[in-house]
Structure 1
Amino acid sequence: MGTTRTDIEDACDWQGKPLDCAVCERRALREEGHCRLGHACAHDRYARRIDRFFRWNPQLAKDYLEHPYFETRAVAAKHVELFFLPRLLGDADETVRQSVAQRLPVNSKHFKSLLRDPHREVRIRVAERLEARELIGLIDDPDYFVRQIVARRLPQGMLVKMMHDIDPEVRKVVAQRVSGEWLPAMANDRETNVRLAAVRRMDPGQLKQLIKDPDWQVRYEVASRLDVAELEPMRADPDPAVHELVAQRFAGQCKENGLPKAS
C-alpha cells in the first residue's frame, strides 16, 4: 500500500511538529528507498511507521535507544541486537521495558531482574515468558492479573501455595488446575465461582458434602452429578431449577428400572 497525500500531510514528530526530510540526518536513505515520509520514518509519531523504518533498516536501531520519544526507543528495542537490551532495563517508560522483556533470553539475569519491575505490564510479559518452574517468584505479585498468569502456568504441584490468594479469579484458576486431593478444600471457598470450578472437577463420590451449599448454581452442579442414591436430601431443595433437576433424575432412574415415576 502506497503513501497517500494525507499520510504525508499528517507526518509529524512526537511533539506534533511537521517532519522535514531536508533537515533529517537520514535524508540519504530516502534517495535509496530505505525510508519514506508518512510511511517509514524513525522520527514519526506513529509506532507503525517507526517500526517500518527499523524493519527496513535494522542496523540503525542501536542509534535510537536514547531517543527522547518513548515509542521510538520501544520500537528500536524490538530490532536492536540482543546485547544492547540491558542498557534499557532502567528506561523510564514501561513500554520500552516491555519490549525488552519480550526479547531478553528467559534464563538471563537481566530478564529475571524484571520480576520486580514497578509496572504491571512489564511483569505480565515476564510471567508469560518465564520458565514455569521459576514462576514461584511471582505468586505474591501485587497485581491480580500477573498472579492469574502464574496460576495458569505454575506446575500443578506448586499450585497449593496459591489456594488462598486474595483474588477470587486467581483462586478460580487454581481450582481449575490444582491436584484433585485439594478440590474438597476449594469447594468450601467463600466465592461461588471458585466452588463451582472445584465441584466440576470433583468425583461424584465427593459431592455429598455440598448438597447444602448456599448458592443454587453449586447445588445444581451437585444435583447433576451426584449418584442418584445420594440425591434424596435434595428433593426438597428450595430452588426451582435444582428441585426440577432432582425430580428428572429420579424419574429417569425409575424409567431405567421399569418402575413407576415418583409423584
Structure 2
Amino acid sequence: MKNESRPAEAGFGRLGLCSGCSYYPDYLNSHRCTPGDACIRAHSGRQIDRFLRTNPELAQNYLNDIFWERRAIAARYAAVDHIFSLKSDADEVVRRVVATRLPVDELIGMVRDPDREVRLSVAARLPEPLLVQLINDPDYLIRATVARRLPHGQLSKLAKDPEREVRKVVASRLPPFALHMLAADPEPEVRAIVAERALPGLAVALLQDEEWWVRLAAVSNAPLEFLPPLVNDPEVEVREAAQARLAEPNML
C-alpha cells in the first residue's frame, strides 16, 4: 500500500523546524512555506528570503529579530515607513539594505556611517545639493562617487583631492574652461584626460608635456600652427598624429 503522508506531516518530519512555528500547518499546506526551501525559522538567508518574498506582509514582524540576516532580509520586504529605526542597526548588512531603500530625504543621517558600503549607497542616492556632506569622506571610492554626481559648479572642491582616481573623475567632468586647475596635475593620467578635453590654448601648453600620451591627447585640440614641431617628436604615435592633422587641409 502506497504511503500518502499529508504535506504538513512530511514537512515536520523532514526538518523539525515546524515544531512550535505559529505558521504551521496552515502555511505549509497552502504552499506559503516549504521546509528546506522557504522557511522563516531556518538559519539560511536563501530560505528566509524565499519565505518573505512569498509573504512580504510578515516582514515587519522580523525587523527586530535577534538574527542579523533575518533583520536584513526583512528590511528588503517591509514597508519603507517601518525601517527608519534600522538606520542605526548594529549590523552593517542591515544598514546597507536600509540605505538602498530609504527616501532620499532621509539619507543625510547616514553620511557618517562607519561602513563604506553604506556610505557608497548614500553617495549614489543623496540629492545633489547635499553631496558636499561627503566631499571629505576618508574613503576615496565615496569621494569618486561624489565627483561623478556633484554639480559642475562644485567640482573644483575635489580638484586637489589626494587620490588620483578622484581627480580623474573631476578631469572628465569639469567644464573645459576650468580644466586649467588640473593641467599641472602630478599624475599623467589626469593630465591626459585634461588634454583630451582642453580648449585650444590649454592644449598648446600640454603639447610640451613630458609624457608622450599627454602630448598625443593634446594634438587633437591644439591649433594646427603649433603642430609642426611635433612631427619630430621622439614618440612615433605623437609624430603620426601630428602629421595626420597637418595633412587634413590637403584632403579637402
Query: Same fold per TM (> 0.5)?
Result: yes
- Corresponding residue for residue 56 of structure 2: 58
- Give CA-to-partner distance per residue, 1:9-39, whole Å, 9 cap, x none: xxxxxxxxx6622343432321222111222
Instruction: Kindly report the root-mean-square deviation, in angstroms, between the aligned alpha carbons of the 2 structures.
Output: 2.1
Question: 1:132, 1:154 within 8 Å by CA — same for their partners in 2?
Answer: yes
- Corresponding residue for residue 117 of structure 2: 121
Question: 1:58, 1:80 within 8 Å by CA — same for their partners in 2?
Answer: yes
- Indicate how the Cα distance of structure 1 residues 35 and 93 shifts in structure 2: closer, same or farther if over 3 A, else same: same
- Residue 26 of structure 1 aligns to which amino acid in structure 2? Y
1:136 Cα offset (Å) = 0.7
- Corresponding residue for residue 185 of structure 1: 181
1:165 Cα offset (Å) = 0.8
- Give CA-to-partner distance per residue, 1:95-134, whole Å, 9 cap, x none: 10011111211113xx321010000000011111111111
- Corresponding residue for residue 135 of structure 2: 139
1:256 Cα offset (Å) = 4.1
Question: 2:198, 2:218 within 8 Å by CA — same for their partners in 1?
Answer: no
Question: 2:96, 2:121 within 8 Å by CA — same for their partners in 1?
Answer: yes
Structure 1, unaligned stretches of length 5 or more? 1-17, 258-263
1:251 Cα offset (Å) = 4.3
- Corresponding residue for residue 85 of structure 1: 83
Question: 2:112, 2:119 within 8 Å by CA — same for their partners in 1?
Answer: yes
- Indicate how the Cα distance of structure 1 residues 186 and 40 shifts in structure 2: closer, same or farther if over 3 A, else same: same
Question: 1:78, 1:99 within 8 Å by CA — same for their partners in 2?
Answer: yes
C-alpha distance in 1, partners of 2:203/2:130? 35
Structure 2, unaligned stretches of length 5 or more? 1-14
- Residue 104 of structure 1 aligns to which amino acid in structure 2? L
- Corresponding residue for residue 66 of structure 2: 68
C-alpha distance in 1, partners of 2:241/2:143? 37
SS state at 1:235 partner: helix
> Does residue 33 of structure 1 match 2:62?
no
- Count of residue pairs the alignment pairs up: 238
- Indicate how the Cα distance of structure 1 residues 211 and 44 shifts in structure 2: closer, same or farther if over 3 A, else same: same
- Residue 233 of structure 1 aligns to which amino acid in structure 2? P
Name the TM-score, length of structure 1 as normaliser: 0.83
- Corresponding residue for residue 104 of structure 1: 102
Match of 1:20 among 11, 17, 20: 17
1:225 Cα offset (Å) = 3.2
- Give CA-to-partner distance per residue, 1:182-224, whole Å, 9 cap, x none: 2122121111221122111112343111112111111111223
Name the TM-score, length of structure 2 as normaliser: 0.86
- Corresponding residue for residue 4 of structure 1: none
1:83 Cα offset (Å) = 2.9
- Residue 225 of structure 1 aligns to which amino acid in structure 2? N
